Chain A
Amino acid sequence: MTRKQWLLSGCVACTTLISTAAVAGPIENYSPVTQARLENPEPGNWMLYRRTYDGQGYSPLEQINTSNVKNLTPVWTFSTGVIEGHEAPPIVNNGAMFVTTPMGQVIALNAKTGEEYWRYKRQLPDDLFQLHPTNRGVGLWQDKLYLATTDDHVVALDAKTGKVVWDTKVQDYKKGQYLTLMPLVIDGKIIVGGSGGEFGVRGYVVAYDANSGKELWRTFTIPAPGEPGSETWTGDDWKTGGGSAWMTGNYDKDTRTVYWGVGNAAPWPGDAHPGDNLYTTSVLGLDPETGKIRTHFQYHQNDSWDWDEVEAPMLVDVQRDGRTVKSLIHPGRNAIFWVLERKPDKISYVTGWPYVHTDVWKGIEPEIGKPIVDPAHKPVVGKRVEFCPSLWGGKDWPSAAYSQKTKYVYVPANENTCGGFSGEKVALVPGQLWLGTKPEDIGLTLRPGAKHIGELQAWDPATGKKVWSHSFPKSQLFGSVLATAGDLVFVGGTNDRYFRAFDAKSGELLWEQKTNSGIMGMPVSYEVDGTQYIAIQSGWGVDAQRIQDALATQNIGVENNVPQGGVVWVFAVKK
């Protein structure tokens, strides 16, 4: 090794040391994470994105319930020191909590006291174009954590110390590739999906070996010529067609099938990419061993509205017509509440209905579940088209939840919004945004006479009936939902900075707490030493802020003064 090489090698080591500054760590007595624990997590832990592989966002803990939630009080808080949208669930494994923040930080905390063990700070490139500067959490396996970064790497960290174990480049961030999701961990495979559809990338899902970081398989969400589904694309559109897979998938451990949501086509106007455009705006059924696409269902064809359907559907057993339907439930960004039936090699349409106002769909073809589009509200190149709901849809990426007690699905919806844009033909510049419209031409409006915007909805998927709803007159609802066995539903997501608890059966507002910022993160529940806690990150930004800026122009009294800055809030019932 020359002296120059030696110095360079030393600098790399320095960077690693600088990026991982121990505070009070390491974590002692860390509980290794196994496949058995992930498949049957202890009630007091939250080790997957939605706690369990089925994506239900449900905690079986019931110490905090409808009778005592009024006594819920903060027990500790922790300022992350980072602005922008904090979207990650606090991940908890036997008393150790891991939160991620925008700009690629991971903070390890004592889940009982809030004491910091260690912090990992990703050293992001100076020239990184961060459209969605956020992160949705770390995956766990054995004694390691896995972080997906906005500069398009997957990083393995030692769970006890935060030190980097391996760091694998996924693709090139300079071409608009990036990662924001929490990795899905199955049997030692670290599975992530790529963001970047708005940059004209080709979406994919990829798996890495948990120990080495070696790529095991990669499945593109847009088929190359000759592959099944390629007939739904025209010319070279498949190379730049979008189809981002930027949310964590769910997993059917019985059939060993991964269900992954796939985003919209690129650019936005549909006539810019003729065809049905598989597998955009779809759910894929994947073999986790090989990545092979076993089956799919496309929520709508030839997407033209930026209605990506990136949130994976929940796996729920639904009683319908005297039988148990092993279903996939997905309140879509396209305003349709989907109930599908899942089998390892086939996803079938069961039923669907609009859960917010829409003028785009004239109906759904009953046998195949294909929405019938009103062309008057389908964006095209060369003219301005208006449509409802807005491009943020009836529900964006924030997750709905399902209660195993009430059997209801709780949806963070946005009602009465419309929008539009003027489609135009634009040449793709790698690394630059590529929407097919001018950004200043994108609109968000409210329907005439609208009385509210955000709406927490409770639906019975067995009957298709809305059971209750709670409206927010002057705010969008842009936060994920937690359901608990204490018959409670928790959600933030409003611009008044409140975190709220509702009666899961009746919808009655039972408790609320104002926080430092707006909440667009995901609430979780866990238990340490016999005490149940509720945890959430408050930290407004990204799309919640964009919607906020637009709503503030609508003369409905919406304030646009939500402060930014992340804080982990942890609550327990005062004894």
Chain B
Amino acid sequence: MRCPKPTRRSLLLTTLATGAFLTGGKFAAAQEDQPGSSDRPKKGDLLVVSEGERVGAVIAPGDVKLGEPPLHAWPKDPKTSVVRNGSRLNEILVIRLDPGEMDEETRSRSAEGIAAYSAICTHTGCSVTGWLKSETGDKDVLKCFCHNSEFNPREGAQVVFGPAPRRLPALPLAIADGSLTIAATFVGKVGAQQPG
């Protein structure tokens, strides 16, 4: 299930932590025993839907709509067909944005306005599941409900609110033979960082 568009009021009242609305089957289908299922995304991997009715379907550029919440995805090895869902660190957010609103770096990592980021918050490793108006602006942002960190996907998922210490790692994308593919490995460390 995707995050609905909330009203401003419900946005302002947003408080607690979760990802409770993730639908079933996400990890039930994990292929932990298959070689490569826990490997990080690799160049050339496809993206497949990780939740909802279309779980497992390859994501085509046309599946990602401007103005809609991000799709949750897993990488998939096109040669072995192994879906890399053996680690939650492989959860990916795929979103179509207005290229005119992207900064140069984000645009360079996107494909036809589609950008991808890690779905694991850099604060304490919770799942980033929200797509809501920011606490500090009028644009929708990626939100982690655990501790209310917000990330702007138009500017490399930099932190715009909350305790997260650094941006969500970006995953460069490309389009090859009509399919959305991963163009390079994650830019930055996925997940939380141990304190010094």
A residues touching B (Cβ–Cβ < 8 Å)? Answer: 81-84, 101-103, 105, 121, 123-124, 126-131, 133, 198, 267, 391, 424, 426-445, 541-542, 545-547, 549-550, 553, 564
Q: A124 to B191, alpha carbons, bound, how many Å?
A: 11
User: B27: which A residues are within 8 A, CB to CB?
Assistant: 429-432
Interface centre among B25, B27, B124, B195 (most CB of A within 10 A): B124
Query: 3 shortest A-B CB distances, which residue pairs?
Result: A427-B24, A130-B124, A553-B12
Indicate if the CB atoms of B196 and A438 lie closer than 8 Å: no
Indicate if the CB atoms of A429 and B25 lie closer than 8 Å: yes
Indicate if the CB atoms of A444 and B20 lie closer than 8 Å: no
With contacts A546-B15, A547-B15 taken as known, whether A103 is within 8 angstroms of B194 at the C-beta atoms is yes
Interface centre among B11, B16, B146 (most CB of A within 10 A): B16
Indicate if the CB atoms of B15 and A429 lie closer than 8 Å: no
User: A541: which B residues are within 8 A, CB to CB?
Assistant: 147, 163
Indicate if B126 sits at the interface (CB-CB under 8 A): yes
Q: A428 to B13, alpha carbons, bound, how many Å?
A: 25
Within 8 A of A (CB), among B141-179: 145-148, 163, 165
Q: A427 to B196, alpha carbons, bound, how many Å?
A: 38
Indicate if the CB atoms of B15 and A435 lie closer than 8 Å: no
Indicate if the CB atoms of B23 and A427 lie closer than 8 Å: yes
With contacts A427-B23, A431-B88 taken as known, whether A127 is within 8 angstroms of B13 at the C-beta atoms is no
Indicate if B18 sits at the interface (CB-CB under 8 A): yes
Q: A397 to B25, alpha carbons, bound, how many Å?
A: 33
Nearest opposing residue in chain B for A128, CB measure: B125
Indicate if the CB atoms of A545 and B148 lie closer than 8 Å: yes
Contact partner of B191 (CB less than 8 A), chosen from A126, A439, A553, is A126
Cβ distance B86 to chain A, nearest Cβ, rounded Å: 10
Indicate if the CB atoms of A437 and B20 lie closer than 8 Å: yes
Indicate if the CB atoms of A444 and B21 lie closer than 8 Å: no
Choose, from B76-84, B105-113, B127-135, the stretch at the interface. B127-135
Indicate if the CB atoms of B124 and A84 lie closer than 8 Å: yes
Indicate if the CB atoms of A564 and B26 lie closer than 8 Å: no
Indicate if B14 sits at the interface (CB-CB under 8 A): yes
Size category of the binding interface on chain B: 35 or more
Indicate if B3 sits at the interface (CB-CB under 8 A): yes
With contacts A84-B163, A545-B148 taken as known, whether A127 is within 8 angstroms of B88 at the C-beta atoms is yes
Nearest opposing residue in chain B for A434, CB measure: B20
Cβ distance A241 to chain B, nearest Cβ, rounded Å: 15
User: B16: which A residues are within 8 A, CB to CB?
Assistant: 391, 435, 439, 442, 546
Q: A428 to B20, alpha carbons, bound, how many Å?
A: 8
Indicate if B17 sits at the interface (CB-CB under 8 A): yes
Nearest opposing residue in chain B for A103, CB measure: B195
With contacts A103-B194, A430-B27, A546-B16 taken as known, whether A440 is within 8 angstroms of B125 at the C-beta atoms is no
With contacts A127-B125, A441-B10 taken as known, whether A433 is within 8 angstroms of B15 at the C-beta atoms is no
Indicate if the CB atoms of A438 and B20 lie closer than 8 Å: yes
User: B102: which A residues are within 8 A, CB to CB?
Assistant: none
Q: A158 to B21, alpha carbons, bound, how many Å?
A: 43
Interface centre among B6, B135, B148 (most CB of A within 10 A): B148
Indicate if the CB atoms of B89 and A126 lie closer than 8 Å: yes
Q: A81 to B193, alpha carbons, bound, how many Å?
A: 13
Indicate if the CB atoms of A123 and B18 lie closer than 8 Å: no
Cβ distance B96 to chain A, nearest Cβ, rounded Å: 21
Indicate if the CB atoms of B6 and A440 lie closer than 8 Å: yes
Contact partner of A436 (CB less than 8 A), chosen from B10, B20, B88, B194, is B20
With contacts A126-B125, A443-B10, A545-B163 taken as known, whether A429 is within 8 angstroms of B18 at the C-beta atoms is no
Nearest opposing residue in chain A for B17, CB measure: A131
Q: A427 to B21, alpha carbons, bound, how many Å?
A: 8
Nearest opposing residue in chain A for B12, CB measure: A553
Indicate if the CB atoms of B14 and A440 lie closer than 8 Å: yes
Cβ distance B120 to chain A, nearest Cβ, rounded Å: 8
Indicate if the CB atoms of B146 and A131 lie closer than 8 Å: yes
Cβ distance B152 to chain A, nearest Cβ, rounded Å: 18
Indicate if the CB atoms of B17 and A439 lie closer than 8 Å: yes
Q: A364 to B55, alpha carbons, bound, how many Å?
A: 49
User: B21: which A residues are within 8 A, CB to CB?
Assistant: 424, 426, 438-439
Indicate if the CB atoms of B14 and A429 lie closer than 8 Å: no
Indicate if the CB atoms of A130 and B195 lie closer than 8 Å: no
Q: A131 to B129, alpha carbons, bound, how many Å?
A: 14
Indicate if the CB atoms of B192 and A546 lie closer than 8 Å: no
User: B89: which A residues are within 8 A, CB to CB?
Assistant: 126-127
Nearest opposing residue in chain A for B21, CB measure: A438
Cβ distance A351 to chain B, nearest Cβ, rounded Å: 32
Indicate if B31 sits at the interface (CB-CB under 8 A): no
Q: A445 to B12, alpha carbons, bound, how many Å?
A: 10
Cβ distance A189 to chain B, nearest Cβ, rounded Å: 31
Indicate if the CB atoms of B22 and A432 lie closer than 8 Å: yes
